[in-house]
Structure 1
Amino acid sequence: MREYEHGLIEKKWQDIWDEKEIYKASNNSDKPKYFALVEFPYPSANGLHVGHPRPYTALDIVSRKRRFEGYNVLFPMGWDAFGLPTENFAIKNKIHPKIVTENNVKRFKSQLKSIGYSFDWSREINTTDPNYYKWTQWIFIKLFENGLAYKHEMPINWCPSCKIGLANEEVVGGKCERCGGEVIRKVKNQWMLKITDYAERLLNDLDLVDYIDRVKIQQRNWIGKSEGMEIDFNIAGVEDKLRVFTTRPDTIFGATYMVIAAEHSLIEKYKDRIENLDEVLKYRNEVSKKSDFERTELSKEKTGVELKGLRAVNPATGNEIPIWISDYVLITYGTGAIMAVPGHDERDWEFASKFNLPIVEVIQGGNIKLGAYTDTETGILVNSEFLNGLDVDKAKKTISDWLEERNLGTRKINYKLRDWVFSRQRYWGEPIPLVYCEKCGWVPVPESELPVMLPEVENYEPTDTGESPLANITDWVNTTCPKCGGHARRETDTMPQWAGSSWYFLRYTDPDNDKNLASKEALDYWMPVDWYNGGMEHTTLHLLYSRFWHKFLFDLGVVPGPEPYAKRTSHGMILGDNNEKMSKSRGNVVNPDDIVMDYGADTLRTYEMFIGDFEKSVPWSENGVKGCRRFLERVWRLQEIVKDGDEYSNKLESSIHKTIKKVSEDFETLKFNTGIAALMSLLNEFNDVGSITKKDLKTYLTLLNPVAPHITEELWKITDLGGFLHDTTWPIYDEKKLKDQIIEMPIQINGKVRGKIEVSVDDTQDMIREKILKDENILKFMDGKEIVKEIFVAGKIYNIVVK
């Protein structure tokens, strides 16, 4: 027997699979379809680390199993290649982003191929390919034509040093992640997409899909539907009002102050009335340096400034109450103003306690000193005039009716979900296919002129004005209005990275189509995606954005159903061996190339799936890798004990059927680690028995193949099992065979176990007695004595009483 040389074996089979195109899906097949999808990666200069293969291997296992089960499987791969990281690298290293992307894709692809994934590479896509982003632009135009894309003044995170707008995740501690400089808030005219028009459908249609619970919970929380009231608070001495949204109008008698966002227009409008304007403006400037996330999620210390000279009037009590500004209220959420009820809201209580503001209990039984937000859903109203004595539900209805009768408020459904900010003032992104004409306004580029190509430029660094670098290319910017033929200017903002990833799964169904984003026939056949797996960090925005675009395309009649993904699961991260997230700065990154070279791709794949619960984060272990390598070496040695035989070995038959059942179920329920453990246990039984039939080996290699495809294919050929393993079918277990056919039965003499004998589950008492009386090790305990009684429990025990 030759040694297990993983390098030669894996290269050999990867070449065979490529040459035979065995993983190429067909758009015309009599087989049932199965569309398995993993989130396509952002190809960075760093290449893969060992966290990337975890989800890819999981869905590769599912895809390979489906092929064995007779499905026409589409398991594609592509590149989410626009975005800031590439642009940053390009600027720093003076290399064009296009070249950076090409190099990164080449590296990523070679790494993925070395691990032996069964991707259909004939359908490879790249979001930076003009043939791809032509259709991203087409979708945007359709959104614009249907009133779902609009321009709006929006505060953004702005880095004065880098001269670019930053997403919230690019602001760390009030500083730019790229240069470390102070970030401020700046108002920009941004393109927005009206995802809020689809909020209710995005929420309700979660009932149509098979998503794991934690994904559905994140979707619902992000959409954040709430029913309540919009209530107007007059501002004393002026005509203006402050409108607030609250889900708890029943607590209005406990509203002792108001808080508005630091950016609220009220400040500019009434700056002459604000007695401490300098203090207010100073605080507003400090707030402008924080991202929304820092203001709402990270801020522990409550800060704020009272607008002295302005007072609001509580519409229920008629009392004047102070108006404050604070960073925990955002202009982009709700109305940018809240009524603060410190007796029954923890956040408001902390603020009121710090600034010595009144705290009034209006729900009986709440502990005001601790925030008093417990038991407020079912309590009884107090200190609330005509609401006193009512329970919360009745109080809500009563006060809502009272406010509406007096035109002081209206019932309203609100969503936490905000419209999607779609502009980026950067170079490396899809050009927005609109032009601005002084006469006609914003006009779409004709479909016949798509794609609007990203122009080649020498300098793709930000401009001094904060506009996209495209703004400096005058011969590209200046154009003709498609509507009136007059002078027009192209939009110089580009799309965010989210754009290309919001519909990429559709392009996989028909990637070379130059007439449509995909043909109706291909979409009708393949959609929806049957199983989509990705990281938990993408189960809010990416999932919402792509579901939104898909629903819009469904409304246009482009796609056959309202939801893109029938099933969505998510995996946990693989951490460094120090239990921290892998990163270059922490020095704990493990390169999969090293594992493939030293131990083999099959070892990497096996360990990635055996490392622990797929849905939880787990630390990397070099010893664990070595253990999986030893397991595969033991599998390799099975060729030494295989013998001819087209039936299961009698002693192994029950265990094999149990393993088929266990592995089949575990591969479907993300329990890859316990499925592999079952295969390890069966391997031990093979070796304990000392020989196996070819049928035993066939089934074992088929079950292991989705995890370790190279070694199993090679063993199939070496042991002459016929044809190719990848052409076989998935084994089926027999329910009747799950029960052990051969068992060890304890034999007692006068109540004491004196030995065990192997019996068949079908053996009669007489047959077992005959075996006992032939076993010398048991007979010696009887010592020729007379048998006076026999107690037999089938399948359990045989007790012989002698004297």
Structure 2
Amino acid sequence: MNKYTPNEIEKKWQDYWDEHETFKAENDSDKEKFYALVEFPYPSGQGLHVGHPRPYTALDIVSRMKRMQGLNVLYPMGWDAFGLPTENYAIKNKIHPAIVTKNNIEHFKKQLKSIGFSFDWSREINTTDPEYYKWTQWIFLQLFKHGLAYKKEMPINWCPSCKVGLSNEEVVGGNCERCGEEVVRRVKSQWMLKITEYADRLIEDLDDLDFIDRVVTQQKNWIGKSEGASIFFSLKDHKEKLEVFTTRPDTIYGATYMVISPEHPLIQKYKDEIENYDELNSYKEEVEKKSDFERTELSKEKTGVEIKGLKAINPLTEKEIPIWISDYVLMSYGTGAIMAVPAHDDRDYEFAKKFNLDIVPVIEGSNVSESANTDTSTGKMINSGILDGLEVKKAISTMIDYLVEHNLGEKKINYKLRDWVFSRQRYWGEPIPIVHCEECGYVPLSEEDLPLLLPEVENYEPTDSGESPLSKMTDWVNTTCPKCGKPAKRETDTMPQWAGSSWYFLRYTDPHNNEALASKDALDYWMPVDWYNGGMEHTTLHLLYSRFWHKFLYDIGVVNTKEPYQKRTSHGMILGGNNEKMSKSRGNVVNPDDIVRDYGADTLRCYEMFIGDFEKPVPWSENGVKGCRRFLERVWNLQEIVVDGDKYSEDLLSEIHKSIKKVTNDYENLKSNTAIAQLMSLSNEFSDKGKITKEDFRAFLILLNPVAPHITEELWQVCDLGGVLNEMSWPEYNEELTIDNKIEIPVQFNGKVRFTIEINRDSLQDEVIKIAESNELFEKNVDGKNVVKKIYIPNKILNIVVK
């Protein structure tokens, strides 16, 4: 027997799979399809880290099993290659981003191949390929033509380090999601996408999908649908009305002041009547330096300025109430104005206490100053005029009806979701195929002129004012209007990285099509994606964006399904050995190349699947890696005890059938850790027996193959088990043979369990009683009393009644 040499074995089989196109999916197949998808990576200069293989291996296992179960499996891979890191590297090192991208992709691809993933490399895509982004631009044009893409002057989140505008989803804890720099606010003209038009459908259609609960919850919370009422507060001595949205119109009698955003147009409109306009303006300038996160952070100290010279009228109490400006109210949410009910809202209460404003409780026993109970969802109304004595739920509907009837407001639905800030003032992204004409406004390029190629520039550095490097290229910028033929200028903003990833799963179905983003036949066959796994950090970014794009493409008849993904799962992060997130600064990064070199790809795959619950974060353990390598060496040595035989060994029959059932179900449910544990147990049974048939070994190798494909293919060949393993059928199990004949049942005395006994399944009552009576604890529990009854529930319990 030769020594186990994974490096030689793994290269051999990787070359074989490439040569034979083993994992190539067919579009014109009569087989049932299975489309498995993992989020395609951003090809950074650092290459893969050990976190990447975890989700890739999990769905690789499912894909390999499904192929052997007779399905036509599409498991593709590509590159999400536009974006800031490559551009920043290019700026620093004076290398064109395209060259950086090409080098990074070559490195990533080599790493992925070394781990033995069963990707269909014939469908490889790259978002920076003009033949790919031609269709990204085409989709944008359709959005524009249908009124879902528009230009707007607006305050945006600005990263001073990346010199780029960010969507709300790209700001984490007040900092740039990419570089960690603190985000500030700037007003810029931006391209926007009307994702809000799809808010209801993005929520409602989640009910038809097999998404894990935490993904569903995050998406619903981010969209933030809330039902309530708009209420109109009159300005004293003016016809002007301030509109506020609230989910709790029942608390209006407790509204003792109003707060509006520092950017609210009311301030400019009544500038001449406001006595402290300069003070308000100074406050506004300070606020504009803050991100939305900083402004709405509940724990910070409350700040604000009263507007002197303007008062509002509470429409129910008809009392004058002061109007304040404060940073915690945003123009981008609701109407930019709120009614403050300090007795029943923590933030309003803190503000009122600081500025000595009135606090009027209107729900019995739930004043926030009374720490014993601050729940406002139940209770009776007090100090509330027409609502007094009503329970909260009834009071809400009563007040909405009253407001509508008296023209003081209207029933309304509001959303936290904002339209998607789509343009970026950077170079390395898809050019936006729009020109601006003084005569015609914003005009789309003709679809025949796509792709609009990204031109070469000498300097990729954006200006401090935030203009794109493309803006300096006058020869490229200056063009003619596609509509009237007069001089016009190209759009110099580029698309965000999220553009290419919002539809890439469609291109995989037909990646070389020059006439459409994919053929109708390919889309009809492959869509929707059957199983998509990705990071939780993309739940309110890529996952939401791509669902929006797909729904739009469904509406215009391009795709055949209203949702892109039927099933969504997510994986836990692999941490460093010190239980901290892996990073260079912490010195705890593990390079998968090192593991493959020192232990083999099968060991890496086995360890990453055996490490723990797939959905939970787990620390890396070098000892765990060594343990998986030892397991594979024991598997390698099993060839020594294989003898001829085309049937399962009689004494292993039950254990093999139980293993087939458990491993199949575990793979299907991303529980590879327990599947591997079962296979370890079965291999031990083989070793203990000292002799196994070829059929025993065939079943074992097929079950292990999705986790460790190289060693199992090699052992299949070495042991001359017939053909090549990957062409075999997945083994089936007999349910009867998975049921243990020996079972354990409890023995009760007067209803209390005193001991257990082992019996043969379906034993007769007399035999069960005989076994129980032979137990030394039986007489002890009878304790000289009379046994008056013996009750046996088959295979469940034996109850002895004594007196």
* Superposition TM-score, scaled by structure 2 size: 0.90
Question: 1:593 maps to what in 2?
Answer: 593
In the alignment, what sits opposite 1:516? 516
Unaligned residue ranges in structure 2 (runs of 5+): 746-757, 768-791, 797-803
Give the 3 Å change call, closer, same or farther, for CA 706–19 of structure 1 in structure 2.
Answer: same
Partner residue in 1 for 2:777: none
Query: What is the CA-CA distance between 1:521 and the residue it aligns to?
Result: 0.6
* CA apart distance, 1:274: 3.8
- 1:309–1:622 CA distance, 2 compared to 1 (3 A): farther
Change (3 A) 1:178 1:649: closer
| TM-fit CA distance, 1:608 | 0.8
Matched letter for residue 725 of structure 2 = L
Equivalent AA in structure 1 for residue 336 of structure 2? G
Q: Distance in 1 between matches of 2:626 and 2:429?
A: 43
1:198 and 1:234 mapped to 2: Cα distance? Answer: 33
Report Cα offsets for 1:730-779 as digits up to 9, x if no partner. Answer: 1111111113468999xxxxxxxxxxxx99989999x9xxxxxxxxxxxx
Q: Is the 8 A contact 1:361 1:383 kept in 2?
A: yes
Give the direction of change, closer, same or farther, for the CA distance of 1:415–1:163 in structure 2 (3 Å limit).
closer
Kindly provide the CA deviation profile for residues 458-516 of structure 1, in whole angstroms up to 9, marking residues without a partner as x: 11111354221111111111111111111111111111111111100000000000000
5 Å matches for 1:242-253? Answer: 242-253=242-253
Number of aligned positions between the proteins? 762
Query: For structure 1, which segment, 151-160 or 474-483, has the greater mean C-alpha deviation from structure 2 after superposition?
Result: 151-160
Q: What SS class does the counterpart of residue 369 from structure 1 fall into?
A: coil
Change (3 A) 1:356 1:465: same
1:438 has 2:438 as partner: yes
Name the CA shift for 1:183/1:37 in 2 (closer, same or farther; >3 Å): closer
| 1:329–1:337 Cα contact (<8 Å) kept | yes
Equivalence for 1:800: none
Deviation at 1:118, TM superposition (A): 0.2
**8 Å Cα contact 1:136-1:499 kept in structure 2:** yes
1:253, 1:384 within 8 Å by CA — same for their partners in 2?
yes
Q: Give yes or no for contact 1:173–1:290 (8 Å, CA) kept in 2.
A: no
SS in 1 for 2:489: strand
Q: Please show how residues 559-638 of structure 1 align to structure 2 within 5 Å.
A: 559-638=559-638
Q: Is the contact between residue 167 and residue 421 of structure 2 (CA under 8 Å) also seen in structure 1?
A: no
Q: Match for residue 653 of structure 1? A: 653
Contact 2:645 2:693 in 1 (8 A): yes
Q: Is the 8 A contact 2:345 2:368 kept in 1?
A: no
Q: Which residue of 1 aligns with 2:270?
A: 270
The 1-side partners of 2:373 and 2:296 are apart by: 19
Equivalence for 1:136 = 136
> Does the 8 Å CA contact 2:130/2:451 hold for their aligned counterparts?
yes
Tell me the CA shift for residue 403 of structure 1: 1.7
**CA distance change for structure 1 residues 581 and 305 in 2, over 3 Å: closer, same or farther?**
farther
Gap change, CA 1:684 and 1:355, over 3 Å in 2:
farther
Q: Quick one: distance in 1 between partners of 2:187 and 2:30?
A: 56
Equivalent residue, structure 2, for 1:722: 722
> What residue is the counterpart of 1:750 in the other structure?
none
Residue 215 of structure 1, CA deviation: 1.0
Per the TM alignment, residue 221 of structure 1 is displaced from its structure 2 partner at its CA by 1.1
Are residue 38 (structure 1) and residue 38 (structure 2) matched? Answer: yes
Give the Cα–Cα distance (whole angstroms) in 2 for the partners of residues 713 and 319 of structure 1: 83
Range with greater deviation from structure 2 (530-539 or 384-393): 384-393
Question: Which residue of structure 2 aligns with residue 389 of structure 1?
Answer: 389
Q: 1:717 to 1:176 in 2, by over 3 A?
A: closer
State how far apart, in whole Å, the 2-side matches of 1:543 and 1:370 are: 42
Letter aligned with residue 587 of structure 2: G
Q: Distance in 1 between matches of 2:633 and 2:762?
A: 38
Matching residue of 1:425: 425
Contact (CA 8 Å) 2:762, 2:794: kept in 1 or not?
Answer: no
Per-residue CA deviation, residues 658-684 of structure 1 (Å, 9 max, x unaligned), is 111111111111211111111111112
Deviation at 1:365, TM superposition (A): 2.0
Q: How much has 1:568 moved relative to structure 2?
A: 0.7
SS at match of 1:197: helix
How far apart, CA to CA, are the structure 1 residues paired with 2:743 and 2:554?
59
Residue 686 of structure 1: how far off its partner (Å): 1.4
How far is the alpha carbon of 1:373 from its aligned partner? 7.4
Residue 238 of structure 1, CA deviation = 3.8
Q: Does the aligned pair in 2 maintain the 1:344–1:373 contact within 8 Å? A: no
Asked whether the equivalents of residues 167 and 420 of structure 2 are also in contact (C-alpha less than 8 Å), the reply is no
8 Å Cα contact 1:381-1:387 kept in structure 2: yes
Question: Partner residue of 2:211?
Answer: 211
Aligned position for 1:152: 152
Separation of aligned partners in 1, 2:503 and 2:333: 27
What is aligned with 1:749? none
Secondary structure, aligned partner of 1:452? coil
| Counterpart-to-counterpart distance in 2, 1:466 and 1:280 | 27
Aligned match of 2:120? 120
**Matching of residues 162-181 of structure 1 within 5 Å:** 163-167=163-167
Does structure 1 residue 334 correspond to structure 2 residue 334?
A: yes
Deviations 1:206-263 (A, max 9, x none): 1221111111111111111111111121222444332111111011111112222232
Residues 652-691 of structure 1 aligned to structure 2 (within 5 Å): 652-691=652-691
Provide the residue aligned with 2:734 in structure 1: 734
- Aligned residue for 2:364? 364
Q: Secondary structure at 1:158's aligned position in 2? A: strand
Output one character per residue of 1:155-175: Cα deviation in whole Å (capped at 9) or x when no partner: 113356765434557768867
Q: Does 1:4 align with 2:30?
A: no
Equivalent positions of 1:486-497 (< 5 A) are 486-497=486-497
- Counterpart check, 1:96 vs 2:116: no
Q: What code does the residue aligned with 1:446 have? A: S
**Contact 2:346/2:368 (8 A) holds in 1:** no
Question: Could you tell me whether the CA contact under 8 Å between 1:345 and 1:373 is conserved in 2?
Answer: no
Q: Structure 1 stretch 287-296 or stretch 726-735: which is displaced more?
A: 287-296
Residue aligning to 1:196 = 196
Q: Contact 1:435–1:445 at 8 Å: present in 2 too?
A: yes
Separation (CA, whole Å) in 1 of partners of 2:740 and 2:186: 72
The amino acid across from 2:124 in the alignment is: E
Tell me the equivalent position of 1:410.
Answer: 410
Change (3 A) 1:12 1:705: same
Over 3 Å counting, the alpha-carbon distance change for 1:222 and 1:764 in structure 2 is closer
Deviation at 1:180, TM superposition (A): 8.5
| Residues 660 and 466 (structure 1), Cα distance of their counterparts in 2 relative to 1, 3 Å cut | same
Tell me the residue number matched to 1:499. 499
Other-structure match for 1:225: 225
State the partner residue of 1:555.
555
The Cα of 1:182 is off from its aligned counterpart by 6.9
Q: 1:394 Cα shift?
A: 2.2
Q: Is this contact kept in 2: 1:345–1:372, CA < 8 A?
A: no
Q: Aligned residue for 1:285?
A: 285
Separation in structure 2 between the aligned mates of residue 237 and residue 372 of structure 1, nearest angstrom:
42
Q: Which runs of 5+ in 1 are unaligned?
A: 746-757, 768-791, 797-803
TM-score, structure 1 length as denominator?
0.90
Shift of 1:371: 6.7
Aligned to 1:779: none
Corresponding position of 1:755:
none
1:235 maps to 235
Aligned counterparts of 2:127 and 2:397: Cα–Cα separation in 1: 51
Asked if the contact 1:342–1:371 (Cα under 8 Å) also holds between the matched residues in 2, the reply is: no
* Whole-angstrom CA distance in 1 between matches of 2:330 and 2:691: 71
Find the aligned partners of 2:177 and 2:654 in 1 and give their Cα distance.
59
For residue 388 of structure 2, what is the amino acid of its counterpart? N
SS of 1:460's partner is coil
Q: Partner of 2:302: helix, strand, or coil? A: coil
Specify the code of the residue in structure 2 equivalent to 1:576: G
In structure 2, do the counterparts of structure 1 residues 78 and 439 end up closer, same or farther at CA, with 3 Å as the change threshold?
same
How far the C-alpha of 1:83 sits from its partner, in A, is 1.0
Alpha-carbon separation, structure 2, partners of 1:182 and 1:309 = 36
Report if aligned partners of 1:258, 1:324 keep a CA contact under 8 Å in 2.
yes
Relative to structure 1, the CA distance from residue 373 to residue 318 in structure 2 (aligned partners, 3 Å threshold; closer, same or farther) is: farther
How has the CA–CA distance of structure 1 residues 178 and 664 changed in structure 2, closer, same or farther, with 3 Å as cutoff?
Answer: closer
**Residue number in structure 1 paired with 2:48:** 48
User: What is residue 752 of structure 2 aligned with on the other side?
Assistant: none
Tell me the distance in 1 between the aligned counterparts of 2:724 and 2:505.
Answer: 31
- Contact 1:175 1:181 (C-alpha < 8 Å) held by counterparts: yes
Structure 2 CA distance, aligned partners of 1:19 and 1:459? 43
Q: Residue 713 of structure 2 contacts residue 726 of structure 2 at CA under 8 Å; is this kept in 1?
A: yes
Residue number in structure 1 paired with 2:107: 107
Structure-2 change in CA distance of 1:174 and 1:267 (3 Å): farther
Query: 1:168-192, CA deviations, whole angstroms, 9 ceiling, x for partnerless residues?
Result: 5776886778898875321111111
Deviations 1:398-440 (A, max 9, x none): 2222222332211111111111111111111111111111111
Distance 2:148 2:179 in 1: 35
